[in-house]
A = this chain, B = another copy of it.
Amino acid sequence: MGKRVTIKDIAEECHVSITTVSRILNNKKGYCTAETEQKVLDAVKKANYHPNPAARSLVTKKTNLIGVILPDIYNYFFQELFQGAEDFLREKGYSLVLCNTDGDAKREREFLNSLSQGVVDGIIVSTSNREDDNSTILELAQNKFPIITVERYGEELKDIPRILVANREAESMAVHSLYERGHRRIAFICGPVKADNAKRRLEGYRLGLEEVGIPYDEALVCRGDYKLDSGYRATKELLESQEFTALIAANDLMAVGAVRAIQDAGKSVPDDISVIGYDGTLLAELSKPVLGTVILHGYDMGKLSAENLFKIIKGKKIADKKVVFKPELKLGESIRTIQKEK
């Protein structure tokens, strides 16, 4: 492989410093003679050199790239979140790069470190982590690096701008809704142990049961990992050992897996079992039957994250450092009324 021309090569050829080349490329006038400027511009042209954004950023400190770090880019919810952020920031002249951590704290740290060092001007990070993985984010924020967190928990993050979802209220609302339609045996497929919001959604399910007066039965709860297959497997397991008329899955992907498992067992959704998902994505709409789900407003969450990040980059104040989105229940076709509560 041939060698790429760098700003250093240009500087050496013209007998000037890297800083001088950088200033000329960034149109900062008055630091050198017009003659030197012309010499550098000629060398740049001759070498077909494109300024390296980070070398450029030694002076301007800008690349106009924004990093978005997500735990699962194949999940519709995060796609909608990204779309909301991209639509806003593109308008402002930024390009977004998307990074997939697969829910792995080590990979998240790697992305945070490599992106924050001159590659991007700011980061939106939304990973369903455990509370003990916040140290890199804290460090970046303390170094005044523009960063926004979404669906990320931990008391130590209280001074960092963040966007959250009322997970407990949402799942409790799903339980209430099924209870009002006559359901008493309601199964639950929860998310992975390592996801903090999975814990909160499970707490919401328990809270809902408590509020309507149904005793919590551990045998009706099965663990998934937010992926489709796990919803299928968990539901198959539940169907083999338990009787229930309704099932709540802690995200839409697992709910789609659940519907498939119920159908493969020769039963009908919603005639035999009602199903409610969580996220409110396109996937819920595309399902047959159309999936009842908790709508999280992923697009709006992404858009607000982007707006707030933009404010931080521009040195402006953010009105609310902590914004909690209130989910809504969308009924779809997958929920059946057994008997109306009087």
A-to-B contact residues, CB < 8 Å = 1-8, 17-19, 48, 50-55, 57-58, 61, 63-65, 67, 73-74, 79, 82-83, 86, 95-100, 107, 110-111, 113-119, 139, 143-146, 228, 256, 260, 282, 286, 288, 312-313, 315
Contacts and interface: CB of A to CB of B under 8 A. Distances in A.
Nearest to A101: B95
Given A58-B55, A95-B99, A96-B100, A113 B4 contact: no
Contacts of A82: 73
A182 B91 CA distance: 51
A94 to B, nearest CB: 10
Contacts of A100: 86, 96, 98
Nearest to A6: B58
A51 B143 CA distance: 13
A251 to B, nearest CB: 15
A260 B18 CA distance: 60
Nearest to A146: B1
Main secondary structure of the interface of A (DSSP, over half): mixed
A52 B118 contact: yes
A73 B67 contact: no
B144 A4 contact: yes
A144 to B, nearest CB: 4
A58 B8 contact: yes
Contact of A95 (B1, B17, B52, B114): B114
B1 A315 contact: yes
Given A4-B144, A100-B96, A55 B118 contact: yes
Contacts of A4: 61, 143-145
Nearest to A145: B4
A118 B19 contact: no
